[in-house]
């Protein structure tokens, strides 16, 4: 398993958002986490990506706990091993597409010339090469999400966390983003944890996990569904 949670709990104030959720993703697997608004999907994603820490339970990445790491170590892990894609508007407004995509590489120490070349290559792979010099404000929502996807994948993450990545897009643009996401993930063997309330989007996944009221309602993977029973 590349990443897993064991009985994670999380509360914001008095009412629990997650009440003991255990799940595991294999390498290269694309998993959709679905369920009604407020059931804890985003919270679960934030715990697994190391953005939030659980109140109880454990998060393991490649078999080692990450929930007990300090903020600096979790932040480094996010930069080196994880990619994140949120609903919308995460691009730096002042930077053209190619510089947005080159940014995570440069933060990791890659020189500008090489980072720019790799960024241009990723824009090409996602069908938006012609947008390289445009600012986010000059692009459509779907184009911005494809640039954001390039930025999330350019470092070659082992896990991509996508929280309602099509939530702000029309159907056609959403399908375009999902098609590119799935193809890119499969090409690289990247695991994807996709949070969505949209059944059409969930259908792109290999496996669906449903949450309800902060608990696992169903996991259509028999093996891991019963592993922590
Ligand atoms: P979902 O992604 O399924 O909509 P969330 O994980 O966003 O669910 O939220 C789960 C529950 O936790 C909801 O009741 C939500 O209102 C609450 N919640 C989420 N984030 C916060 C926060 N930062 N402060 C307080 N309550 C929160
Ligand atoms: P999502 O379900 O996609 O996370 P939300 O609108 O539920 O979208 O949440 C957007 C932001 O607001 C998140 O950072 C979440 O943690 C926070 N949030 C959600 N519910 C609450 C709440 N009841 N009180 C405070 N913050 C919240």
Which residues approach ligand 2 with their CB closer than 6 A?
A: 42, 163-164
**ipTM given for this complex:** 0.76
**Closest listed ligand to the CA of 163:** 2
The rounded Å distance from CA 43 to ligand 1 centre is: 6
d(CA 42, ligand 2 centre) in Å: 8
Alpha carbon of 16 to ligand 1 centroid (Å): 9
Distant-in-sequence, close-in-space partners of 172: CB < 8 Å, separation ≥ 6: 142
Q: Which pLDDT tens digit goes with each residue over 89-100?
A: 799 999 999 999
Task: pLDDT band for 32, please (50, 70, 90 cuts).
Answer: very high
pLDDT computed for residue 222 by the predictor:
52
CA 185 to ligand 1 center in whole angstroms:
28
pLDDT at 159 over 90: yes
First to last CA, the chain: 17
Task: Tell me how far apart the alpha carbons of residues 169 and 210 are, in angstroms, rounded to a whole number.
Answer: 23
Q: How far is the CA of 115 from the centre of ligand 2 (A)?
A: 34
At residue 226, does pLDDT exceed 70? no
Whether this model's pTM surpasses 0.80: yes
pLDDT at 227 over 50: no
* Longest Cα–Cα distance in the chain: 51
3-state class (DSSP) for residue 195: strand
Among protein residues, the one with the nearest Cα to ligand 2's atom 27 is: 12
Nearest CA residue ID for atom 8, ligand 2: 42
Question: Cα separation of 89 and 2, whole Å?
Answer: 29
Percent of the chain residues topping a pLDDT of 70: 97
User: What is the pLDDT at residue 228?
Assistant: 43
Query: pLDDT class for 88, splitting at 50, 70, 90?
Result: confident
Ligand 1 binding pocket mutation candidate from 16, 19, 40 (most atoms within 8 A of CB): 40
- Residue 110 phi, psi dihedral angles, 5° rounding: -70, 140
State the average pLDDT over residues 189-195.
Answer: 97
17 lines ligand 1 (CB under 6 A): yes
Whether the predicted pLDDT of 142 surpasses 90:
yes
Concatenate the DSSP letters of all residues of 157-189 into one string: -SEEEEESTTTTS-HHHHHHHHHHHHHHHHHHT
* DSSP 8-state symbol, 9: E
Please give the pLDDT value at position 89.
73
Question: Does position 216 have pLDDT exceeding 80, yes or no?
Answer: yes
């Amino acid at each position: 398993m590349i990443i897993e949670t064991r009985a994670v709990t999380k509360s914001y104030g008095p009412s629990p958002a997650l009440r003991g959720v255990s799940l595991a993703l294999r390498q290269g697997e694309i998993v959709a986490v679905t369920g009604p608004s407020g059931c804890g999907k985003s919270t679960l994603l934030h715990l697994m990506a190391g953005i939030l820490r659980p109140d109880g339970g454990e998060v393991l990445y490649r078999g080692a706990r990450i929930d007990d790491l300090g903020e600096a170590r979790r932040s480094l892990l996010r930069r080196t091993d994880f990619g994140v894609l949120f609903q919308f508007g995460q691009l730096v407004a002042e930077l053209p597409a190619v510089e947005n995509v080159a940014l995570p590489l440069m933060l990791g120490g890659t020189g500008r010339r090489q980072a720019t070349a790799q960024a241009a290559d990723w824009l090409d792979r996602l069908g938006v090469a012609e947008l390289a010099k445009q600012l986010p404000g000059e692009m459509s929502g779907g184009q911005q999400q494809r640039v954001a996807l390039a930025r999330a994948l350019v470092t070659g993450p082992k896990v991509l966390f996508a929280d309602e990545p099509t939530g702000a897009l029309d159907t056609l643009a959403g399908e375009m983003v999902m098609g590119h996401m799935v193809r890119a993930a499969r090409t690289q063997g990247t695991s994807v944890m996709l949070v969505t309330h949209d059944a059409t989007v969930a259908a792109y996944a290999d496996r669906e996990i449903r949450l309800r009221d902060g608990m696992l309602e169903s996991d259509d993977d028999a093996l891991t569904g019963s592993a922590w029973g």
